[in-house]
Amino acid sequence: MGRHSERARDALMDAAEQLFALHGIEGASNRQIAELAGQANHSAVAYHFGGREDLLRALIARHRPPIDARQRELIEALAPAATVPELIACRVMPWIEMLSDLPRPTWRARFLAQLPSLPAMTELIAGLSPTGAGSRSATELNARLVTALSDVPVSVLMGRAAILGQMVLTTCAAYERDVAAGVRRPDWIGVGYFLVDASAGMLAAPVTHRSEVPSSFAAALV
């Protein structure tokens, strides 16, 4: 891929993320994306990505390699007797650090938070999960969490993790919106550790009744 084509793809992804964050994934047309990206060709999305779904796949995969690498780094640094918050931080903080490092205003959290609510996005949500070596690290991390939380049934842990995945995304989207509006000063790292503590509390909460786990899709703690 030439440098000009790569810059065009980046500009289109920047524009799409912004428009999707502001108007919803179904509220922005490919033409509007091309215009905001400064592309004279209104078919630029189709030319550079092949279609709308391929653009969404590229957006979901964006920033994934450094997030996976950071997660592996944190997991490798864990002590054998790591606490539940320390284990959860390996999953949450790499994504939070990415949001903290992005040029402002950011749009990514607001874009990603929309994915679980769109029926057509169910399959694409798998792109939020690590792949390759990142997947192996995530599997190891999940196994350690199950061991550390052995008093909580695995089915309950999975249901809670699914809820937490939504909580992290929607909380970050709301915070991102407030930062962009000037309502809050940006402190993504502080938000990250708030979410780590909240997640640890929910996962470790006692199970008081036998009940149906309400999650309707696989857990994806960013």
pLDDT, position 132: 56
Residue-wise pLDDT for 60-99, tens only, equals 989 989 998 999 999 999 999 999 999 999 999 999 999 9
pLDDT, position 42: 84
Domain boundaries, the chain: 3-60, 63-204
Please determine, for residue 59, whether its predicted confidence score (pLDDT) is greater than 70.
Answer: yes
| pLDDT band at residue 220 using 50, 70 and 90 as cut-offs | very low
| pLDDT band at residue 106 using 50, 70 and 90 as cut-offs | very high
Contact 168, 92 (CB under 8 A): yes
Residue-wise pLDDT for 135-176, tens only, equals 677 888 889 999 999 999 988 998 898 888 889 999 999 999
* CATH class for the region spanning 3-60: mainly alpha
Both structure tokens of 122:
């169910």
What is the dihedral sign for C-alpha 113, 116, 119, 122? positive
Using CA atoms in the order 133, 134, 135, 138, what is the torsion angle rounded to 10 degrees? 130
What is the dihedral sign for C-alpha 53, 54, 58, 61? positive
Q: Looking at the chain, how many residues does it have?
A: 222
